[in-house]
Structure 1
Amino acid sequence: MLIEIWSDVVCPWCYIGKRRFERALSDFQNAHPELDVEIAWRSFELDPNAPQQRTEPMVEHLAKKYGMSVARAREIQAQVSDAAGEEGLSFDLDAAKSGNTFNAHRLIHLAQNKGLGDAMKERFLEAYFTEGKPIGDPDMLIALAEEVGLSRGEAERALHDEATSRAVRDDEALASELGIRGVPFFVIDRRVGISGAQPPATFLQVLEDALGQSAPLASSTDDDATCTDEGCAVDS
Protein backbone atom coordinates (compact mmCIF):
# COMPACT_ATOMS: atom_id res chain seq x y z
CA MET A 1 0.00 0.00 0.00
CA LEU A 2 1.38 3.38 -1.03
CA ILE A 3 0.26 6.38 1.02
CA GLU A 4 1.24 9.76 -0.41
CA ILE A 5 0.90 12.78 1.85
CA TRP A 6 0.84 16.30 0.46
CA SER A 7 1.71 18.90 3.10
CA ASP A 8 3.81 21.95 3.90
CA VAL A 9 6.23 22.42 6.77
CA VAL A 10 4.57 25.69 7.86
CA CYS A 11 1.07 24.20 7.93
CA PRO A 12 -0.10 23.63 11.53
CA TRP A 13 -2.79 21.16 10.52
CA CYS A 14 -0.18 19.17 8.63
CA TYR A 15 1.74 18.58 11.86
CA ILE A 16 -1.43 17.83 13.81
CA GLY A 17 -2.63 15.58 11.00
CA LYS A 18 0.70 13.76 10.93
CA ARG A 19 0.28 12.80 14.58
CA ARG A 20 -3.33 11.72 14.16
CA PHE A 21 -2.49 9.70 11.07
CA GLU A 22 0.45 8.02 12.79
CA ARG A 23 -1.86 6.78 15.54
CA ALA A 24 -4.27 5.36 12.98
CA LEU A 25 -1.50 3.81 10.90
CA SER A 26 -0.06 2.07 13.96
CA ASP A 27 -3.42 0.44 14.68
CA PHE A 28 -3.85 -0.44 11.00
CA GLN A 29 -0.44 -2.10 10.75
CA ASN A 30 -1.03 -4.03 13.97
CA ALA A 31 -4.22 -5.39 12.41
CA HIS A 32 -2.47 -6.17 9.10
CA PRO A 33 1.14 -7.15 9.90
CA GLU A 34 1.49 -8.87 6.52
CA LEU A 35 0.86 -5.62 4.62
CA ASP A 36 3.77 -3.58 3.30
CA VAL A 37 2.99 0.14 3.72
CA GLU A 38 5.10 2.84 2.08
CA ILE A 39 4.79 6.52 3.04
CA ALA A 40 5.77 9.11 0.43
CA TRP A 41 5.91 12.76 1.45
CA ARG A 42 4.78 15.09 -1.34
CA SER A 43 5.51 18.79 -1.65
CA PHE A 44 2.92 21.54 -1.39
CA GLU A 45 3.83 25.21 -0.93
CA LEU A 46 1.14 27.26 0.77
CA ASP A 47 2.92 30.48 -0.22
CA PRO A 48 5.36 29.83 -3.09
CA ASN A 49 6.02 33.56 -3.43
CA ALA A 50 7.10 34.00 0.18
CA PRO A 51 10.49 35.64 0.77
CA GLN A 52 13.29 33.42 1.99
CA GLN A 53 12.77 34.79 5.50
CA ARG A 54 10.02 36.98 6.94
CA THR A 55 10.95 39.55 9.54
CA GLU A 56 7.53 40.65 10.77
CA PRO A 57 5.89 38.63 13.57
CA MET A 58 3.74 35.79 12.32
CA VAL A 59 0.58 37.12 13.96
CA GLU A 60 0.95 40.46 12.18
CA HIS A 61 1.62 38.78 8.85
CA LEU A 62 -1.49 36.61 9.18
CA ALA A 63 -3.65 39.58 10.14
CA LYS A 64 -2.52 41.52 7.06
CA LYS A 65 -2.71 38.59 4.65
CA TYR A 66 -6.21 37.52 5.62
CA GLY A 67 -7.68 40.92 6.44
CA MET A 68 -8.34 40.35 10.13
CA SER A 69 -7.38 42.06 13.35
CA VAL A 70 -4.24 41.07 15.21
CA ALA A 71 -6.47 40.06 18.11
CA ARG A 72 -8.42 37.68 15.88
CA ALA A 73 -5.19 36.25 14.47
CA ARG A 74 -3.97 35.59 18.01
CA GLU A 75 -7.24 33.89 18.84
CA ILE A 76 -6.88 31.59 15.84
CA GLN A 77 -3.30 30.78 16.76
CA ALA A 78 -4.34 29.92 20.30
CA GLN A 79 -7.07 27.56 19.09
CA VAL A 80 -4.72 25.78 16.70
CA SER A 81 -2.10 25.49 19.46
CA ASP A 82 -4.72 23.93 21.74
CA ALA A 83 -5.53 21.35 19.06
CA ALA A 84 -1.81 20.60 18.72
CA GLY A 85 -1.51 20.19 22.49
CA GLU A 86 -4.18 17.51 22.42
CA GLU A 87 -1.87 15.51 20.15
CA GLY A 88 1.14 15.96 22.42
CA LEU A 89 2.66 18.77 20.34
CA SER A 90 3.94 22.02 21.82
CA PHE A 91 3.45 24.92 19.42
CA ASP A 92 5.12 28.30 19.97
CA LEU A 93 3.59 30.30 17.15
CA ASP A 94 4.74 33.61 18.61
CA ALA A 95 8.31 32.47 17.97
CA ALA A 96 7.66 31.02 14.50
CA LYS A 97 9.91 32.46 11.80
CA SER A 98 8.14 32.00 8.49
CA GLY A 99 9.63 32.06 5.04
CA ASN A 100 9.82 30.25 1.72
CA THR A 101 9.59 26.47 2.10
CA PHE A 102 10.88 25.39 -1.32
CA ASN A 103 14.32 24.42 -0.05
CA ALA A 104 12.83 22.48 2.85
CA HIS A 105 10.84 20.42 0.36
CA ARG A 106 13.97 19.80 -1.71
CA LEU A 107 15.75 18.38 1.34
CA ILE A 108 12.76 16.21 2.23
CA HIS A 109 13.01 14.68 -1.25
CA LEU A 110 16.72 14.05 -0.77
CA ALA A 111 16.09 12.46 2.61
CA GLN A 112 13.24 10.36 1.24
CA ASN A 113 15.54 8.88 -1.38
CA LYS A 114 17.73 7.67 1.48
CA GLY A 115 14.94 6.32 3.65
CA LEU A 116 14.93 9.36 5.93
CA GLY A 117 11.94 11.25 4.58
CA ASP A 118 9.76 10.96 7.66
CA ALA A 119 12.62 11.92 9.97
CA MET A 120 13.39 15.00 7.88
CA LYS A 121 9.74 16.03 7.69
CA GLU A 122 9.33 15.64 11.44
CA ARG A 123 12.50 17.60 12.19
CA PHE A 124 11.47 20.54 10.03
CA LEU A 125 8.00 20.65 11.58
CA GLU A 126 9.43 20.58 15.09
CA ALA A 127 12.02 23.23 14.25
CA TYR A 128 9.40 25.60 12.90
CA PHE A 129 6.46 25.09 15.24
CA THR A 130 8.26 24.36 18.51
CA GLU A 131 11.77 25.78 18.32
CA GLY A 132 11.23 29.00 16.38
CA LYS A 133 13.91 28.25 13.79
CA PRO A 134 13.78 30.22 10.52
CA ILE A 135 12.33 27.74 8.05
CA GLY A 136 13.68 29.56 5.00
CA ASP A 137 17.31 29.80 6.17
CA PRO A 138 19.45 27.44 4.04
CA ASP A 139 22.17 27.09 6.69
CA MET A 140 19.61 26.11 9.31
CA LEU A 141 18.00 23.59 6.94
CA ILE A 142 21.36 22.02 6.18
CA ALA A 143 22.17 21.75 9.89
CA LEU A 144 18.87 19.97 10.51
CA ALA A 145 19.52 17.66 7.56
CA GLU A 146 22.80 16.68 9.19
CA GLU A 147 20.93 15.91 12.41
CA VAL A 148 18.78 13.28 10.70
CA GLY A 149 21.73 11.61 8.98
CA LEU A 150 22.41 13.43 5.72
CA SER A 151 25.90 14.72 5.02
CA ARG A 152 26.49 18.45 4.81
CA GLY A 153 27.83 18.10 1.30
CA GLU A 154 24.85 16.26 -0.11
CA ALA A 155 22.44 18.64 1.60
CA GLU A 156 24.25 21.64 0.14
CA ARG A 157 24.22 20.09 -3.32
CA ALA A 158 20.50 19.35 -3.06
CA LEU A 159 19.78 23.05 -2.64
CA HIS A 160 21.37 23.71 -6.03
CA ASP A 161 20.29 20.52 -7.78
CA GLU A 162 17.85 20.62 -10.67
CA ALA A 163 16.64 17.12 -9.75
CA THR A 164 15.33 18.16 -6.32
CA SER A 165 13.78 21.28 -7.81
CA ARG A 166 12.02 19.20 -10.44
CA ALA A 167 10.81 16.72 -7.80
CA VAL A 168 9.07 19.51 -5.86
CA ARG A 169 7.47 20.91 -9.00
CA ASP A 170 6.33 17.46 -10.11
CA ASP A 171 4.60 16.94 -6.74
CA GLU A 172 2.84 20.27 -7.05
CA ALA A 173 1.76 19.55 -10.61
CA LEU A 174 0.36 16.19 -9.54
CA ALA A 175 -1.51 17.84 -6.68
CA SER A 176 -3.15 20.13 -9.20
CA GLU A 177 -4.09 17.19 -11.43
CA LEU A 178 -5.68 15.41 -8.47
CA GLY A 179 -7.59 18.53 -7.43
CA ILE A 180 -5.69 19.01 -4.18
CA ARG A 181 -6.08 22.60 -3.02
CA GLY A 182 -5.55 22.26 0.70
CA VAL A 183 -3.27 20.29 3.01
CA PRO A 184 -2.76 17.90 4.57
CA PHE A 185 -4.08 15.58 1.89
CA PHE A 186 -3.61 11.82 1.97
CA VAL A 187 -3.83 9.62 -1.14
CA ILE A 188 -3.94 5.82 -0.83
CA ASP A 189 -2.76 3.82 -3.84
CA ARG A 190 -3.93 6.67 -6.11
CA ARG A 191 -7.49 5.46 -5.51
CA VAL A 192 -8.67 6.98 -2.26
CA GLY A 193 -8.06 10.50 -1.02
CA ILE A 194 -8.78 12.12 2.33
CA SER A 195 -8.28 15.76 3.23
CA GLY A 196 -7.57 17.38 6.55
CA ALA A 197 -6.27 16.46 9.99
CA GLN A 198 -8.98 13.89 10.56
CA PRO A 199 -9.51 12.06 13.86
CA PRO A 200 -7.49 8.82 14.06
CA ALA A 201 -10.68 6.74 13.90
CA THR A 202 -11.59 8.34 10.57
CA PHE A 203 -8.13 7.73 9.14
CA LEU A 204 -8.28 4.11 10.30
CA GLN A 205 -11.66 3.54 8.66
CA VAL A 206 -10.42 5.01 5.38
CA LEU A 207 -7.35 2.75 5.46
CA GLU A 208 -9.52 -0.30 6.08
CA ASP A 209 -11.94 0.68 3.32
CA ALA A 210 -9.05 1.26 0.90
CA LEU A 211 -7.94 -2.37 1.20
CA GLY A 212 -10.93 -3.55 -0.81
CA GLN A 213 -11.61 -0.52 -2.97
CA SER A 214 -10.87 -0.62 -6.67
CA ALA A 215 -12.66 2.53 -7.82
CA PRO A 216 -10.83 5.62 -9.11
CA LEU A 217 -9.71 8.35 -6.74
CA ALA A 218 -12.48 9.53 -4.48
CA SER A 219 -11.86 12.11 -1.81
CA SER A 220 -13.29 12.98 1.56
CA THR A 221 -12.78 16.52 2.79
CA ASP A 222 -12.73 18.26 6.13
CA ASP A 223 -12.36 21.98 5.59
CA ASP A 224 -12.16 22.54 9.34
CA ALA A 225 -8.70 20.95 9.55
CA THR A 226 -6.82 22.10 6.48
CA CYS A 227 -4.63 24.93 5.25
CA THR A 228 -4.85 26.54 1.82
CA ASP A 229 -3.21 29.60 0.33
CA GLU A 230 -6.20 31.51 1.69
CA GLY A 231 -5.59 30.53 5.30
CA CYS A 232 -5.83 27.78 7.90
CA ALA A 233 -9.10 26.61 9.43
CA VAL A 234 -9.68 26.98 13.15
CA ASP A 235 -11.88 24.15 14.36
CA SER A 236 -10.61 20.59 14.64
Structure 2
Amino acid sequence: MSYLVTGASRGIGLELVKQLLALPKSQVTKVIALSRGAPPAALQELLGKHTSRSIHIAASVDNTESVKQAAQAVEAQLGDAGLDVLINNAGVLGELSAEGARFIPPEEMLRVLDVNVVGPHRVTAAFLPLLEKGKQKKVINMFVKNSDSIPSIGCADVRRRSSTMGSIAMSEYFTFAPVPPYKISKTALHMLNKQYASEYEGKGFTFLAVSPGWLKTDLGGPHADLDVDVGVRDVIRIILEATPAQNGNAVSIKVSGNDRYDGKEIPW
Protein backbone atom coordinates (compact mmCIF):
# COMPACT_ATOMS: atom_id res chain seq x y z
CA MET A 1 0.00 0.00 0.00
CA SER A 2 1.08 3.58 -0.61
CA TYR A 3 0.65 6.26 2.06
CA LEU A 4 0.78 10.05 2.06
CA VAL A 5 1.24 11.83 5.41
CA THR A 6 0.82 15.60 5.76
CA GLY A 7 2.53 17.48 8.59
CA ALA A 8 5.35 14.93 8.45
CA SER A 9 8.15 17.15 9.74
CA ARG A 10 7.76 16.40 13.46
CA GLY A 11 5.68 14.85 16.23
CA ILE A 12 2.88 12.51 15.22
CA GLY A 13 3.49 13.00 11.50
CA LEU A 14 7.17 12.11 11.76
CA GLU A 15 6.38 9.06 13.89
CA LEU A 16 3.76 7.93 11.37
CA VAL A 17 6.36 8.05 8.60
CA LYS A 18 8.87 6.21 10.79
CA GLN A 19 6.54 3.37 11.75
CA LEU A 20 5.09 2.98 8.26
CA LEU A 21 8.58 2.62 6.80
CA ALA A 22 9.39 0.03 9.49
CA LEU A 23 6.64 -2.23 8.13
CA PRO A 24 7.59 -4.79 5.46
CA LYS A 25 7.34 -3.87 1.79
CA SER A 26 4.51 -6.36 1.44
CA GLN A 27 2.42 -3.99 3.61
CA VAL A 28 3.87 -0.60 2.69
CA THR A 29 5.28 -0.03 -0.78
CA LYS A 30 5.69 3.76 -0.67
CA VAL A 31 5.49 6.56 1.91
CA ILE A 32 5.14 10.16 0.75
CA ALA A 33 6.06 12.63 3.50
CA LEU A 34 4.57 16.07 2.90
CA SER A 35 5.77 19.05 4.88
CA ARG A 36 6.18 22.79 4.48
CA GLY A 37 9.58 23.58 2.96
CA ALA A 38 12.69 21.42 3.04
CA PRO A 39 12.58 18.37 5.34
CA PRO A 40 14.11 18.96 8.78
CA ALA A 41 17.13 16.88 9.79
CA ALA A 42 15.17 14.11 11.56
CA LEU A 43 12.86 13.54 8.60
CA GLN A 44 15.68 13.78 6.08
CA GLU A 45 17.71 11.19 8.00
CA LEU A 46 14.72 8.84 8.19
CA LEU A 47 13.91 9.11 4.49
CA GLY A 48 17.59 8.65 3.65
CA LYS A 49 17.44 5.16 5.17
CA HIS A 50 14.53 4.18 2.93
CA THR A 51 15.25 5.88 -0.39
CA SER A 52 13.52 3.23 -2.49
CA ARG A 53 10.26 3.45 -0.54
CA SER A 54 9.99 7.10 0.48
CA ILE A 55 9.50 10.51 -1.10
CA HIS A 56 9.48 13.98 0.41
CA ILE A 57 7.33 16.66 -1.14
CA ALA A 58 7.30 20.28 0.02
CA ALA A 59 3.81 21.76 0.07
CA SER A 60 1.67 24.01 2.29
CA VAL A 61 -1.83 22.76 3.03
CA ASP A 62 -3.01 26.37 3.23
CA ASN A 63 -2.02 27.03 -0.38
CA THR A 64 -4.23 25.57 -3.10
CA GLU A 65 -1.67 25.80 -5.90
CA SER A 66 1.00 24.22 -3.70
CA VAL A 67 -1.28 21.27 -2.95
CA LYS A 68 -2.19 20.84 -6.63
CA GLN A 69 1.50 20.75 -7.55
CA ALA A 70 2.10 18.17 -4.82
CA ALA A 71 -0.66 15.97 -6.26
CA GLN A 72 0.94 16.20 -9.70
CA ALA A 73 4.33 15.23 -8.25
CA VAL A 74 2.84 12.22 -6.45
CA GLU A 75 0.98 11.14 -9.59
CA ALA A 76 4.26 11.19 -11.48
CA GLN A 77 5.70 8.82 -8.87
CA LEU A 78 2.76 6.45 -8.41
CA GLY A 79 1.22 6.49 -11.86
CA ASP A 80 -1.73 4.19 -12.55
CA ALA A 81 -1.27 2.38 -9.21
CA GLY A 82 -2.76 5.40 -7.48
CA LEU A 83 -2.64 6.28 -3.78
CA ASP A 84 -4.01 3.89 -1.17
CA VAL A 85 -4.06 5.92 2.06
CA LEU A 86 -4.10 9.67 2.72
CA ILE A 87 -3.43 10.81 6.29
CA ASN A 88 -4.43 14.44 6.92
CA ASN A 89 -2.25 15.17 9.93
CA ALA A 90 -1.11 18.79 9.45
CA GLY A 91 -2.70 21.32 11.79
CA VAL A 92 -2.21 24.33 14.04
CA LEU A 93 -3.35 25.13 17.57
CA GLY A 94 -3.83 28.87 17.05
CA GLU A 95 -3.72 31.77 19.49
CA LEU A 96 -4.81 31.35 23.09
CA SER A 97 -7.60 33.52 24.51
CA ALA A 98 -8.58 33.09 28.15
CA GLU A 99 -11.11 35.93 27.64
CA GLY A 100 -13.17 33.92 25.17
CA ALA A 101 -14.05 33.68 21.49
CA ARG A 102 -15.10 37.33 21.13
CA PHE A 103 -11.49 38.43 21.65
CA ILE A 104 -10.09 36.25 18.88
CA PRO A 105 -9.27 38.41 15.84
CA PRO A 106 -11.33 37.29 12.84
CA GLU A 107 -8.10 36.94 10.87
CA GLU A 108 -6.80 34.41 13.41
CA MET A 109 -10.04 32.45 13.32
CA LEU A 110 -9.79 32.28 9.54
CA ARG A 111 -6.13 31.24 9.69
CA VAL A 112 -6.85 28.27 11.97
CA LEU A 113 -9.89 27.21 9.96
CA ASP A 114 -7.86 27.50 6.76
CA VAL A 115 -5.16 25.12 7.98
CA ASN A 116 -7.27 22.70 10.06
CA VAL A 117 -10.39 22.45 7.87
CA VAL A 118 -9.82 23.91 4.43
CA GLY A 119 -6.33 22.37 4.41
CA PRO A 120 -7.61 18.76 4.66
CA HIS A 121 -10.27 19.67 2.10
CA ARG A 122 -7.63 20.99 -0.32
CA VAL A 123 -5.50 17.90 0.11
CA THR A 124 -8.38 15.42 -0.08
CA ALA A 125 -9.89 17.05 -3.17
CA ALA A 126 -6.52 17.22 -4.94
CA PHE A 127 -5.63 13.59 -4.22
CA LEU A 128 -9.05 12.01 -4.80
CA PRO A 129 -8.28 11.11 -8.43
CA LEU A 130 -5.23 9.17 -7.19
CA LEU A 131 -7.20 7.62 -4.33
CA GLU A 132 -9.84 6.45 -6.80
CA LYS A 133 -7.10 4.52 -8.62
CA GLY A 134 -5.77 3.02 -5.38
CA LYS A 135 -6.90 -0.30 -3.94
CA GLN A 136 -7.54 0.78 -0.33
CA LYS A 137 -9.17 4.22 -0.83
CA LYS A 138 -8.69 5.32 2.80
CA VAL A 139 -8.67 8.94 4.03
CA ILE A 140 -7.68 9.43 7.67
CA ASN A 141 -8.35 12.78 9.35
CA MET A 142 -6.38 13.24 12.56
CA PHE A 143 -8.33 14.91 15.36
CA VAL A 144 -5.74 16.09 17.83
CA LYS A 145 -3.27 18.79 18.72
CA ASN A 146 -1.53 17.81 21.92
CA SER A 147 -2.95 19.45 25.00
CA ASP A 148 0.23 20.28 26.93
CA SER A 149 0.59 23.41 24.79
CA ILE A 150 -2.62 24.62 26.42
CA PRO A 151 -2.20 26.33 29.82
CA SER A 152 -3.15 24.28 32.86
CA ILE A 153 -6.64 25.59 33.40
CA GLY A 154 -8.86 22.90 34.86
CA CYS A 155 -8.12 19.47 36.24
CA ALA A 156 -5.56 17.11 34.76
CA ASP A 157 -8.11 14.45 33.85
CA VAL A 158 -10.03 16.93 31.71
CA ARG A 159 -6.83 17.98 29.97
CA ARG A 160 -6.15 14.36 29.09
CA ARG A 161 -9.41 14.24 27.17
CA SER A 162 -8.34 16.98 24.78
CA SER A 163 -8.05 14.57 21.88
CA THR A 164 -11.85 14.84 21.63
CA MET A 165 -11.90 18.63 22.04
CA GLY A 166 -13.91 19.06 18.85
CA SER A 167 -16.80 16.97 20.14
CA ILE A 168 -19.99 18.98 20.67
CA ALA A 169 -21.33 16.20 22.89
CA MET A 170 -18.30 16.58 25.18
CA SER A 171 -17.89 20.36 24.88
CA GLU A 172 -18.74 21.01 28.53
CA TYR A 173 -15.49 19.27 29.50
CA PHE A 174 -13.44 21.74 27.50
CA THR A 175 -14.73 25.14 28.58
CA PHE A 176 -11.41 25.48 30.43
CA ALA A 177 -9.36 25.40 27.22
CA PRO A 178 -8.65 28.91 25.86
CA VAL A 179 -8.43 27.81 22.22
CA PRO A 180 -11.81 28.63 20.60
CA PRO A 181 -10.56 28.59 17.00
CA TYR A 182 -8.97 25.17 17.47
CA LYS A 183 -12.09 23.63 19.04
CA ILE A 184 -14.31 25.10 16.34
CA SER A 185 -11.98 23.87 13.60
CA LYS A 186 -11.97 20.29 14.86
CA THR A 187 -15.77 20.24 15.01
CA ALA A 188 -15.83 21.48 11.42
CA LEU A 189 -13.25 18.87 10.41
CA HIS A 190 -15.53 16.15 11.73
CA MET A 191 -18.35 17.40 9.50
CA LEU A 192 -15.94 17.57 6.55
CA ASN A 193 -15.09 13.92 7.22
CA LYS A 194 -18.81 13.09 7.34
CA GLN A 195 -19.52 15.03 4.16
CA TYR A 196 -16.91 13.21 2.13
CA ALA A 197 -17.95 9.90 3.66
CA SER A 198 -21.54 10.49 2.56
CA GLU A 199 -20.59 11.53 -0.95
CA TYR A 200 -18.33 8.49 -1.46
CA GLU A 201 -20.52 5.92 0.30
CA GLY A 202 -20.69 2.71 -1.69
CA LYS A 203 -17.63 3.53 -3.78
CA GLY A 204 -15.11 1.55 -1.73
CA PHE A 205 -13.88 4.52 0.31
CA THR A 206 -13.27 4.73 4.03
CA PHE A 207 -13.19 8.25 5.49
CA LEU A 208 -12.20 7.93 9.14
CA ALA A 209 -11.49 10.46 11.88
CA VAL A 210 -8.91 9.18 14.37
CA SER A 211 -7.85 10.55 17.74
CA PRO A 212 -4.34 9.32 18.67
CA GLY A 213 -4.59 10.52 22.27
CA TRP A 214 -2.38 12.81 24.32
CA LEU A 215 1.16 11.88 23.23
CA LYS A 216 4.65 12.83 24.35
CA THR A 217 5.80 15.00 21.46
CA ASP A 218 7.31 18.49 21.33
CA LEU A 219 3.82 19.91 21.74
CA GLY A 220 2.46 17.13 23.93
CA GLY A 221 5.17 17.58 26.52
CA PRO A 222 6.77 15.05 28.89
CA HIS A 223 3.69 14.62 31.09
CA ALA A 224 1.37 13.34 28.38
CA ASP A 225 -0.39 10.00 28.80
CA LEU A 226 1.48 7.98 26.21
CA ASP A 227 4.77 7.80 24.36
CA VAL A 228 4.27 8.91 20.79
CA ASP A 229 5.22 5.50 19.40
CA VAL A 230 2.46 3.83 21.44
CA GLY A 231 -0.28 6.11 20.16
CA VAL A 232 0.91 6.06 16.57
CA ARG A 233 1.26 2.28 16.60
CA ASP A 234 -2.44 1.94 17.34
CA VAL A 235 -3.33 4.60 14.77
CA ILE A 236 -1.62 2.43 12.17
CA ARG A 237 -3.48 -0.63 13.45
CA ILE A 238 -6.75 1.27 13.04
CA ILE A 239 -5.80 2.25 9.49
CA LEU A 240 -4.79 -1.27 8.51
CA GLU A 241 -8.00 -2.77 9.92
CA ALA A 242 -10.37 -0.04 8.69
CA THR A 243 -13.08 -1.10 6.24
CA PRO A 244 -15.79 0.77 4.30
CA ALA A 245 -18.23 -0.35 7.00
CA GLN A 246 -16.60 2.30 9.24
CA ASN A 247 -16.93 5.06 6.65
CA GLY A 248 -17.62 8.40 8.38
CA ASN A 249 -16.80 7.22 11.90
CA ALA A 250 -14.62 8.98 14.50
CA VAL A 251 -12.62 6.64 16.72
CA SER A 252 -10.04 6.68 19.49
CA ILE A 253 -7.00 4.47 19.85
CA LYS A 254 -7.15 1.46 22.17
CA VAL A 255 -4.49 1.01 24.83
CA SER A 256 -4.60 -1.99 27.15
CA GLY A 257 -5.06 -1.01 30.80
CA ASN A 258 -6.00 2.61 30.02
CA ASP A 259 -9.74 3.25 30.10
CA ARG A 260 -9.32 6.72 28.56
CA TYR A 261 -8.29 5.01 25.33
CA ASP A 262 -10.91 2.33 24.84
CA GLY A 263 -10.99 2.23 21.05
CA LYS A 264 -14.65 3.17 20.93
CA GLU A 265 -16.37 5.56 18.58
CA ILE A 266 -16.15 9.17 19.79
CA PRO A 267 -19.49 10.88 20.55
CA TRP A 268 -20.04 14.00 18.46
Q: TM-score, normalised by structure 2?
A: 0.27
Q: TM-score, normalised by structure 1?
A: 0.30
Higher relative contact order (CA 8 A, sep 6+): 1
Larger relative helix fraction: 1
